[in-house]
Amino acid sequence: MNTLYKQIPQVSKLLENPLIYAYLCEFFHEEIKMEIEKSLDELREKIRNKMTTEINYDDVVRNIVNRLKQKNKYSLRKVVNGTGTIVHTNLGRSLLSKQAIDNVVTVCSSYNNLEYNLELGCRGSRYDHVEQMIANIVGSEAALVVNNNASATMLCVATFGENKEVVVSRGELVEIGGSFRIPEIIKVSQAILKETGTTNRTHLRDYESATNEETAMYLKVHPSNYQILGFTKNVTNDEIVSLAHKMNQSRDKLIITMEDLGSGVFVDFNSYGLIKENTVKESVQSGIDLVTFSGDKLLGGPQAGIVVGKKEFIDQIKRHPLCRALRVGKMTIAALEGTLREYYEEKQAIKSIPTLNMIFKDANSLHKQATRLSKKINELSSVNSEVISIDSTVGGGSLPLSKLPSYGVSIQYKNLSTHLVEKFMRQNKIPIIGRISNEQYVIDVRTLCDGDEDIILLALNR
Ligand SMILES: *Cc1c(COP(=O)(O)O)cnc(C)c1O
């Protein structure tokens, strides 16, 4: 027994092992020493519990290296987005504005009035912090914030559609990003889907003929990530609203009108020369009862689902037990309030909300940026780069067919294949995600952030 203890390597000797001291570029000396000591403590514990009969020096080293590797890597971490897709769901969707980040840090590093009414000195509601602001921006009577748009939609359907029928056009029974499918959302909300119309054409008379005693809701869904072109017909919000109005005159239980907008835009892109996307305000103005949208798509804020519309209906939604289950935390509220405040001035919002800023970058300055980066890459040995004309996409199921003309830099490295270059960049300490276009590895400069160019150059230099 005693001899086993004596075989435990010395800390100072382990610190001299090249596999371990290689980590000196990533940790303080003391941190490495601490991991060694923890590992040796574990070993002593094992000896004490008679769980080991011999000590192998290489195993001890391997154990320490594994600890350091583990310590080194966060699972969720920063990456460089060189894909040119702005609202990239796999890469975390919208980046927060500086104001939003600062507010999260301030609110979350101290106590706060999350559910405390400072005026009256009593319990308050977490929803009070942002709801009025949202209602003011979109011109609605009321607003509600929950975990994400999928839950917002589910919550609305569950509140009004339980054991009743929800009428949806066959052209709008969409799937978004694999796990969000309208028929399934309606099913888990315990409502019954009543399909109407056809894939390419749905008329108002289709909604009318689908209506019966059991009808609880007319649900419109933004097709988000696809478009039907050619011989098409869709029913407008105005038409739906007037049909519901007509039907409701002779009913006890009202038919609710609702639109799942998906992205939810506050800025009129059309007035800036981009494709027309209905703003949340325009949806609300159509007189529709409820509108739902995401916080982290074109709004450019944190993950959240926002419901806006008529107060009496939103009050009813707030009383549904699911509402409590889907509530948001202080980090979301802090980030959302920071983001919403940017919208007091639209020009300011476009400058400081990264998602909007990236959409509005002009091709000229992108060309300049790509030229500069490409030149710097070519100064490195063994790498070749060219400026490539490329299309960025908005992503996140927004403006599905609109392409934003942009520029990228291609990267050819020694005699590595395109796929090896992709892998090498992806496995960088700060991973770099580019795209492969015409068999070439390309980084679109539109989605690069401050400091990203240096990360790319450093990765290529190694
Ligand atoms: C993106 C989207 C959703 C899902 O929103 P999340 O915020 O990701 O939950 C729902 N409906 C539509 C139409 C969408 O585009």
Q: What are 412-456's pLDDT values in tens digits?
A: 987 899 999 999 999 898 999 999 999 999 999 999 999 999 999
pLDDT at position 139 is: 97
Number of H helices, E strands in the chain: 20, 20
- Evaluate whether 89 touches 177 at the Cβ level (below 8 Å): yes
Strands (E) in 208-272, as ranges, are 215-221, 256-262
Instruction: Name the closest-CA residue to atom 14, ligand 1.
Output: 262
Contacts of 239 (CB under 8 A, 6+ apart): 204
Beta bridge partners of 165: 192, 215
**How many other β-carbons are positioned within 10 Å of the β-carbon of residue 24?**
12
Domain check: are 363 and 347 in the same one? Answer: no
CB of 280 closer than 6 angstroms to any ligand 1 atom: no
Query: CATH code at 368?
Result: 3.90.1150.110
Instruction: Name the closest-CA residue to atom 1, ligand 1.
Output: 262
Instruction: Name the closest-CA residue to atom 6, ligand 1.
Output: 149
Last residue of a domain, one of 352, 367, 392: 352
Domain check: are 430 and 315 in the same one? Answer: no
Q: Which atom of ligand 1 is nearest to the CA of 303?
A: 7
Last residue of a domain, one of 352, 378, 407: 352
Residue 147 in domain: yes
Task: Report the alpha-carbon distance of residue 170 to residue 230 in Å, rounded.
Answer: 16
What is the chain's length? 462
Domain check: are 336 and 363 in the same one? Answer: no
Task: Report the alpha-carbon distance of residue 308 to residue 311 in Å, rounded.
Answer: 9
Domain check: are 161 and 212 in the same one? Answer: yes
Task: Report CA torsion sign: 108, 114, 120, 122.
Answer: negative
CB of 328 closer than 6 angstroms to any ligand 1 atom: no
**How many other β-carbons are positioned within 10 Å of the β-carbon of residue 392?**
25
Domain check: are 135 and 258 in the same one? Answer: yes
* Amino acid symbol at 211: T
Domain check: are 253 and 126 in the same one? Answer: yes
Q: How far apart are the first and last CA of the chain?
A: 48
Domain check: are 39 and 108 in the same one? Answer: no
Q: Residue 1: pLDDT band by 50, 70, 90 thresholds?
A: low
265 DSSP assignment: B
Task: Report the alpha-carbon distance of residue 409 to residue 421 in Å, rounded.
Answer: 13
Alpha helices in 286-329 (DSSP H): 311-318, 321-325
Q: Residue 136: pLDDT band by 50, 70, 90 thresholds?
A: very high
Q: Residue 398: pLDDT band by 50, 70, 90 thresholds?
A: low
CB of 262 closer than 6 angstroms to any ligand 1 atom: yes
CB of 137 closer than 6 angstroms to any ligand 1 atom: no
Taking residues 35-55, what's their average pLDDT? Answer: 91
Query: Is residue 310 scored above 60 in pLDDT?
Result: yes
Residue 282 C-alpha to ligand 1 middle, in angstroms? 19
Which of 260, 278, 328, 332 for a ligand 1 pocket mutation test, highest count of atoms within 8 Å of Cβ? Answer: 260
CB of 398 closer than 6 angstroms to any ligand 1 atom: no
Which of 85, 176, 182, 185 for a ligand 1 pocket mutation test, highest count of atoms within 8 Å of Cβ? Answer: 176
In DSSP notation, 77-97 reads ---EE-S-EEE-GGGTSPPPP
Task: Report the alpha-carbon distance of residue 340 to residue 344 in Å, rounded.
Answer: 7
CB of 395 closer than 6 angstroms to any ligand 1 atom: no
Beta bridge partners of 426: none
Last residue of a domain, one of 296, 325, 352: 352
Residue 125 in domain: yes
Domain check: are 19 and 121 in the same one? Answer: no
Residue 85 in domain: yes
Q: Residue 274: pLDDT band by 50, 70, 90 thresholds?
A: confident
CB of 221 closer than 6 angstroms to any ligand 1 atom: yes
Residue 321 in domain: yes
Task: Report the alpha-carbon distance of residue 130 to residue 333 in Å, rounded.
Answer: 7
Q: Residue 3: pLDDT band by 50, 70, 90 thresholds?
A: confident
- Evaluate whether 33 touches 24 at the Cβ level (below 8 Å): no
Residue 102 C-alpha to ligand 1 middle, in angstroms? 27
pLDDT at position 72 is: 67
Domain check: are 186 and 231 in the same one? Answer: yes
Instruction: Name the closest-CA residue to atom 3, ligand 1.
Output: 262
* Amino acid symbol at 278: N
Specify the pairing of strand 116-117 against strand 165-169.
unpaired
Q: Which atom of ligand 1 is nearest to the CA of 398?
A: 15
Domain check: are 203 and 319 in the same one? Answer: yes
Residue 75 in domain: no
pLDDT tens-digit readout, 190-229 = 999 999 999 899 999 999 999 999 999 999 999 887 778 8
pLDDT at position 403 is: 84
pLDDT at position 287 is: 97
Q: Residue 462: pLDDT band by 50, 70, 90 thresholds?
A: confident
Closest CA to 388 of 80, 82, 91, 93: 82
Which of 145, 174, 224, 398 for a ligand 1 pocket mutation test, highest count of atoms within 8 Å of Cβ? Answer: 224
Residue 151 in domain: yes
Average pLDDT, the chain: 93
CB of 293 closer than 6 angstroms to any ligand 1 atom: no
Domain check: are 337 and 283 in the same one? Answer: yes
Domain check: are 197 and 262 in the same one? Answer: yes
CB of 332 closer than 6 angstroms to any ligand 1 atom: no
319 is written with which tokens? 């009383």
User: Could you tell me the residue range of the domain that residue 119 belongs to?
Assistant: 98-352
Query: CATH code at 216?
Result: 3.40.640.10
CB of 305 closer than 6 angstroms to any ligand 1 atom: yes
The residue behind tokens 């790498």 is: 383
How far from chain centre, in Å, is Cα 52?
Answer: 48
Query: Is residue 73 scored above 80 in pLDDT?
Result: no
The tally of domains found in the chain comes to: 3
Instruction: Name the closest-CA residue to atom 15, ligand 1.
Output: 262
- Evaluate whether 238 touches 374 at the Cβ level (below 8 Å): no
